[in-house]
Amino acid sequence: MNLKQLEYFVRVAELGSFSKAALVLNIAQPALSRQVRLLETDLHVNLLTRNGRGVVLTEVGQRLFDHSVGILQLVARAAEDVAAARDEPAGRIVIGLPPSIGRRLTLPLVEGFRRHLPKARLAIVEGLSTHLTEWIATGRVDLGLIHNPEPNPAIEVTPVLDEPLGLVSPASARSAKVAPLPMADLVNFPLILPERTHAMRKLIETQAALANLKLDVRLEISGVPAILDLVAAGYGHAILTRTALAAFGKPDTFTLRPLTKPGLSSTLFLAVSAHKPSTPLGKRAMRLLQELVVAESLDAVAHNKTR
C-alpha cells in the first residue's frame, strides 16, 4: 500500500468510475485498475463493487476511503509547511460554503485567491451546515462557513456575521409590507421552510417552541433558490436573512419584514478542525473569507436601501 495507490483509490471512489478517474488522473484505465486491484490484494479485501453504472464503495472500502482522505491531506499539509518556510502560502485547500451564500461568494473567492494566493489551489464545495460540520471534523474540508452550529469538540468556530431573520413574501402580495412583524404573527402565514435537520429550521422551531407558537409549515424544501421560486409563485412565505435573499439575484421580486418581539437572528460562523494545526495558507484563506462575507453583507444592505 502506497500513497499513489491511495490517491487512485480515492479518485475512483469519488467519481464512481474508473474511466472518469483515469481521465482526471491522466493515466491509462488498465493501469489504474491494476493499481486498485493491487491495493485490494495487499489488504485482502474488496474495496469496490463493480456494476453496470460504475463502482460503489463496500463497507470496508468506505472505512479505507475515510482514512485515505485524511492521509492524503496530511501529506499535502506537509508540502504546504515546506512551502511556508519560503513565505509562500501554497498547496491545496478545500473551502465549504452553505448554499444560501455560496453563489455570491464563489466568484469573489476565486478572484481573491488568484490575486492574493496565486500559488495555492482552491477547491470549493457546497453543503448544508450539518454536512459541512461533518466534513470539517473528518478532514474532507479544511475550513467552511456554517450557520448556528451545535457544540462539537471536533471543530473550532468563530462568529463572522450576525444577521436578523425576516419573513420573505412576494412583492406583489397584498400582505407584503416592510414593517417589522411580531414573532407571534408568524402563525398567520403558510411557511416554506427547510427540513428539520437544517440549522435554520432548528433555530426557527426552537424559538417558536419557546414562544408556544405552532407554525403553519406547508412545504419543507432545503434549497434556498427552490424556496424562493415557490414564494414567488405564491405557495407560501419563507424565513431568511437579507444576504440569503440577495444571493438569489432577484431581490426586487420579494419583500422582507424583520421579525420582532423577540427578534430572531442567524449567526454565520467560520469553522475549522480542532485537531489539525493551522497552516499559513489556512490562515490567509480564513482572513480572505471573513473579509468577503462582511463585504457581501454590506452590499446586500446597501442594495436594499437603494430599492
Q: Say which CATH number the domain at 261 has.
A: 3.40.190.290
Arithmetic mean of pLDDT, 21-26: 88
Answer yes or no: are the C-beta atoms of 292 and 105 closer than 8 Å: yes
Nearest-angstrom CA–CA distance, 110 and 123: 9
Arithmetic mean of pLDDT, 145-149: 89
Answer yes or no: are the C-beta atoms of 204 and 239 closer than 8 Å: yes
Q: Are residues 144 and 204 in the same domain?
A: no
Answer yes or no: are the C-beta atoms of 262 and 186 closer than 8 Å: no
Nearest-angstrom CA–CA distance, 17 and 6: 15
Answer yes or no: are the C-beta atoms of 220 and 228 closer than 8 Å: no
Q: Are residues 48 and 102 in the same domain?
A: no
Answer yes or no: are the C-beta atoms of 55 and 17 closer than 8 Å: yes
Least confident range from 36-45, 75-84, 117-126, 289-298: namely 75-84
What is the model's pLDDT at position 306?
45
How open is the CA angle 188-304-302, to the nearest 5 degrees?
A: 145
Q: How is 61-99 classified by DSSP, letter by letter?
A: HHHHHHHHHHHHHHHHHHHHHHHHTTT---EEEEEEE-H
Q: Are residues 154 and 275 in the same domain?
A: yes
Q: Are residues 258 and 175 in the same domain?
A: yes
Q: Are residues 97 and 139 in the same domain?
A: yes
List the CATH number of the domain containing 50: 1.10.10.10
pTM: 0.65
Residues 251-290: tens digit of each pLDDT = 678 888 999 888 888 899 999 998 888 888 898 999 999 9
Residues 29-74: tens digit of each pLDDT = 999 999 999 999 999 999 999 887 889 999 999 999 999 998 888 8
Q: Which domain holds residue 52?
A: 3-65
Q: Are residues 155 and 299 in the same domain?
A: yes
| Total count of domains within the chain | 3
Q: Are residues 229 and 278 in the same domain?
A: no
Q: Are residues 186 and 124 in the same domain?
A: no
Domain final residue pick, 22, 42, 65? 65
